[in-house]
């Protein structure tokens, strides 16, 4: 099968950073789906795993943590899927990734792709949708249907992949959503996703929120820079508020006042935790994807893909990584076809 892989961890402008290779087609285990991958998308985790380091792989390492495609075969313990099903998933960071024509994924981590989206649009959703859903509705104490009613939520980094779907999920749950962005096009994107207000994260947040009538907010999703916004979030959050985090800090965070004085809940999300530790509730990710697909097909959520590169190959994946590392992408960038 065709695949895109690495053996050395190099800057993305090095043509050896991602390579076109040929690899054996894998054989499914008991809980696996063998999927013919037809579309993928890129996420910050792709660039983080690929980032330069003094390590050489003895065998080609395939990256990629978002995919959509067609089931080719199922393992003996799989329920709910059969060959020919269109599926989407974010997979497992401990296994070979989606940048290959065929991939194995534990069926408990997959969902049936939304019927109303093409596979490139579907491939843009899994990692970000699971991340946002788990953070808002499983790590943080908010119900997915009405948990945001009479509450305000600040989404830092609203135009990114996670922010784009988090805004929609939060709006649907009843939150008054305030997003951050800094360019005209990202501001408009956040409003399109459902943010009622957009403030500029290149300037102090508190005065902008106060001008909108928000002396404090009930919850914050910091999807950008944990260290940079830590002190500001502590001041902005209301007593007994909640902050959700997805980016590990560069240094030690000060967890004292105002966080302690206000009894602020601090919630971490790592989408790969369930698969990495084989938790008893691993199938929850498949259920989240099924729910998201139903909401997409009902018109209650919209896709977040903004561009598709064709085909899936090393040159286009290097370009996708380059754009993601530039920090200028909006929504999600997908790749389709071999």
Confidence check: pLDDT of 252 > 90: no
How are strands ordered across the β-sheet holding 176-181? 197-200, 176-181, 152-156, 217-222, 237-245, 265-268
Query: How far is the C-alpha of 249 from the C-alpha of 316, rounded, in Å?
Result: 31
Confidence check: pLDDT of 194 > 90: yes
At residue 277 the predicted structure's pLDDT band, cuts being 50, 70 and 90, is very high
Query: How far is the C-alpha of 59 from the C-alpha of 7, rounded, in Å?
Result: 7
Average pLDDT, the chain: 97
Quickly tell me which residue has 């983080």 as its tokens. 48
Q: Average pLDDT, stretch 228-251?
A: 96
SS3 content of the chain, % helix, strand, coil (to 5): 30, 30, 40
For residue 254, what pLDDT is reported?
85
The neighbour count for residue 48, using CB atoms within 10 Å, is 10
Cα separations in angstroms, 149 against 170, 175, 179, 180, 190: 10, 5, 17, 21, 20
Q: Look up residue 78 and give its two tokens.
A: 């799989």
For residue 29, what pLDDT is reported?
97
| Cα Dmax for the chain | 59
Q: Average pLDDT, stretch 69-80?
A: 97
The secondary structure of residue 109, as a DSSP letter, is: G
The neighbour count for residue 192, using CB atoms within 10 Å, is 14
At residue 58 the predicted structure's pLDDT band, cuts being 50, 70 and 90, is very high
Nearest by Cα to 66 from 282, 328, 305: 305
């Amino acid at each position: 099968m065709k695949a895109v892989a690495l053996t050395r961890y190099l800057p993305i402008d090095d043509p050896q950073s991602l390579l076109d290779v040929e690899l054996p087609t894998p054989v499914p285990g008991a809980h696996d789906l063998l999927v013919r991958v037809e579309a993928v998308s890129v996420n910050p985790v792709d660039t983080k795993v690929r980032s330069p380091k003094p390590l050489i792989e003895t065998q080609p390492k395939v990256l990629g943590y978002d995919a959509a495609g067609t089931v080719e075969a199922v393992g003996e313990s799989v329920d709910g899927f059969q060959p020919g099903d269109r599926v989407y998933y974010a997979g497992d960071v401990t296994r070979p990734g989606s940048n290959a024509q065929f991939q194995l994924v534990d069926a408990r981590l997959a969902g049936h792709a939304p019927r109303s989206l093409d596979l490139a649009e579907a491939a843009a959703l899994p990692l970000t949708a699971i991340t946002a859903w788990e953070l808002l509705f499983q790590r943080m104490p908010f119900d997915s249907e009405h948990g945001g009613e009479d509450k305000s939520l600040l989404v830092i980094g609203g135009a990114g992949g996670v922010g784009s779907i988090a805004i929609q999920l939060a709006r649907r749950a009843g939150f008054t959503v305030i997003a951050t962005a800094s360019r005209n096009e990202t501001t408009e994107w956040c409003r399109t996703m459902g943010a009622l207000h957009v403030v500029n994260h290149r300037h102090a947040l508190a005065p902008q929120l106060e001008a909108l009538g928000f002396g404090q907010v009930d919850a914050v999703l910091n999807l950008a820079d944990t260290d940079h916004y830590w002190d500001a979030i502590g001041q902005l959050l209301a007593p007994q508020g909640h902050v959700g985090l997805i980016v590990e800090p560069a240094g030690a965070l000060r967890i004292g006042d105002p966080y302690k004085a206000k009894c602020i809940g601090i919630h971490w999300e790592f989408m790969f935790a369930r698969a990495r530790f084989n938790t008893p509730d691993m199938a929850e990710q498949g259920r989240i994807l099924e729910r998201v697909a139903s909401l997409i097909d009902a018109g209650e959520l919209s896709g977040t893909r903004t561009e598709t590169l064709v085909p899936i190959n090393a040159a286009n994946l290097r370009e996708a990584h380059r754009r993601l590392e530039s920090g200028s992408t909006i929504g999600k960038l997908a790749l389709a076809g071999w």
